[in-house]
Amino acid sequence: MELEKISVIIPLYNEEENISHLAEEVFLVLDQIPNDYEVILVNDGSADLTWNSIEKICQRYNKFSGIDLGGNFGQSIALRSGFENSTGDIIVFMDGDLQHNPAYIPKFLAKLNEGYDMVGGSKESRPEGFIQSKLSSIAHYLIFKITNAKMQYYAATFRVYRRFLLENTNILKDTHRFLAAILATKGVRQTEIPISIRSRHAGKSNYKMTKLFSVIIDLVFLKFAVSYMNKPFRLFGFFGLLIFLTGLIPVIYFIFGSLFLSFNLSADYLSEFLFSIFFILIGILMISFGIVAEIGIHNYYSGKEISPYSIRKKTPKP
């Protein structure tokens, strides 16, 4: 049986001090496995000499290639651009700051050969502070409650996928944090192995506490993506109808009372009547938004997709 080709995709942002060391580690690991492979280094709008380093590395290692994005699009989009320009049957995502040890890749592949479609690393140890660790634990608990996907570490970038899992998955900004959880809700065969996250070799971490707010917003999106992505009208239509009826019932009551029960609507119930009208309008607005969202989802799946990134330059393919 022909061995499957492996594509290792590594997004890089201001990693000129780490990239050469990382490339050497990746090469030494992959050169020992029998599979054909390619390594795609994606420069995500770095302000330093990361792209120059990538070009030199691609000249040194003939199975390495580089993509220079036309701006800083974020890690998710960088991973997506690498995937869409890859040719492997097995896709490996990993960070470019040397915190992910390439030596785990053969272990991931061994698990994949046992019949799994997705294999990730669950952190056995990680160089992080107490507060960051607690916030991470809270985020993981919330992701579990939202998705009901049983995983030890949801946000790990270091993960191996069979290609078919990603081909019909829309990877947008920051969705790499929840990609595995979303896939796990579809019942894919997945497992994890314990890994140690190393300290950065050089440079500064791009993680900031302000990203916590982005994660909270993304968790709201995750709930929508898991429960209502294919049928948004069920969400907006339900709440819209509920709000509409909350306003409609008292309006009918006030109008009936004004016509048959001698209610003085303008003198005694004007504020309540106007408030009920407001509820009716909000309900109609939400129902209309649900219809528009439903049309948008239909157009998204049936129309031509527009790429969320631009590529300035590529190195020659191996």
The identity of residue 288, as a single letter, is S
pLDDT level of residue 121 (50, 70, 90 thresholds): confident
198-234 pLDDT tens trace = 776 665 655 554 555 555 555 555 566 555 555 666 6
Beta pairing, strands 118-125 & 190-196: parallel
Query: Is the model's pLDDT at 134 over the cut of 70?
Result: no
Q: Does domain 6-227 have CATH number 3.90.550.10?
A: yes
User: In degrees, to the nearest 5, what angle opens at C-alpha 113 toward C-alphas 197 and 89?
Assistant: 85
What CA–CA distance (Å, rounded) separates 56 from 50? 10
Calculate what percentage of the chain has a pLDDT beyond 70.
Answer: 70
Query: Is the model's pLDDT at 47 over the cut of 60?
Result: yes
Query: Is the model's pLDDT at 46 over the cut of 80?
Result: yes
65-112 pLDDT tens trace = 999 999 998 888 899 999 999 999 999 999 999 989 999 999 999 999
Instruction: Specify the DSSP class assigned to residue 197.
Output: P
**How high does pLDDT run on average in the chain?**
81
Query: Is the model's pLDDT at 185 over the cut of 90?
Result: no
Q: Are 79 and 42 in contact (CB under 8 A)?
A: yes
pLDDT level of residue 149 (50, 70, 90 thresholds): low
Domain ranges of the chain: 6-227, 232-302
205: CB partners within 8 A, 6+ apart: 97
User: In degrees, to the nearest 5, what angle opens at C-alpha 292 toward C-alphas 288 and 298?
Assistant: 145
Q: What pLDDT was estimated at residue 256?
A: 86
Residue predicted with more confidence, 16 or 197:
16
pLDDT level of residue 179 (50, 70, 90 thresholds): confident
Encoded tokens for 265: 């609507």
